Structure 1
Amino acid sequence: MSYLSKITDIYDHISQGEAMDAFEKYYAKDVVMVLEDGSNVEGKAANRERENDFFESVDEFHGMDVKAITSNEEKAATSVECVMDVTFTDGNRMSLEQVAVQHWEGDKIAKERFYATQQG
């Protein structure tokens, strides 16, 4: 399976409300995620907790538009530009614009970095 197929599968899962299924399947045990502020979250357990916290803060998921998705098969790297429309449990509805870059080791994402803006 190509890296493009894998990252497409992840975002298909996210759009169907099954993000954590994709997380369990595709992320390495020692994954490092670099958040928008440049801080690192290290390890699958810590990132699982962070992801679950985010999804628990979402009251309603209105949809996601993948603007661009690409891969460099030789470098084992993928990237995705998307916009998510969510309403949080505090009632605040936001459009979350994000670019995520993934670096793969074999079938698992070893590092992912996020670049994002939020519009209320």
Structure 2
Amino acid sequence: MSQDVAVLDRELNAMIASGQAMEAFEKFYADDCIMQENRKRPREGKSACRQYQIDFFERVAEFHEGTLLGSAVEGDRSFSEWVFDVTFKNGSRMQNHEISARRWADGKVVFEQFFYEPNITPAD
């Protein structure tokens, strides 16, 4: 690996935790990256992945928590455990305990899969 995955992953996670998720995406994700939620159909290419992120953040009214609980690196793979808590503009609230599994190549994330059980509380 041309760059230390542990160092890159630590920087990526720090940016996400500090509210710079889109900046981290632009810096660390490959042009041909693939992202997947659980076992849903993957999003392919940086443009499609970017648009999904933009659409998500545009629906958020309030971001209550984004806490990194732990992370690990093995070779070209990194794993991060997160807790996210957001309220959407429609009034529903999502509280997720999530695992992110990333595969790296040439200093960039080429594949990321999120594992979580959706927990959305409907608006009153």
Alignment partners' CA distance in 2, 1:6 and 1:50: 23
CA deviations 1:28-64 (Å, max 9, x no partner) are 0000112223311000000000000011111111121
Match of 1:5 among 4, 7, 20: 7
Aligned identity (percent) is 32
* 2:113 matched residue in structure 1: 113
Size of the alignment, in residue pairs? 118
Root-mean-square deviation (CA, aligned residues, Å) is 1.3
Partners of 1:68 and 1:15 in 2: CA distance: 12
Displacement of 1:99 in angstroms is: 0.6
Does the 8 Å contact 2:17/2:68 carry over to 1?
no
- AA aligned to 1:87 is T
Give the whole-Å Cα distance in 2 for the aligned partners of 1:65 and 1:90.
23
AA aligned to 1:43 is: G
Instruction: Tell me the residue number matched to 1:86.
Output: 86
Task: List structure 1 runs of 4+ shifted beyond 4 angstroms.
Answer: none
Which is further off, 42-51 or 30-39? 30-39
Correspondence for 1:39 among 26, 35, 41? 41
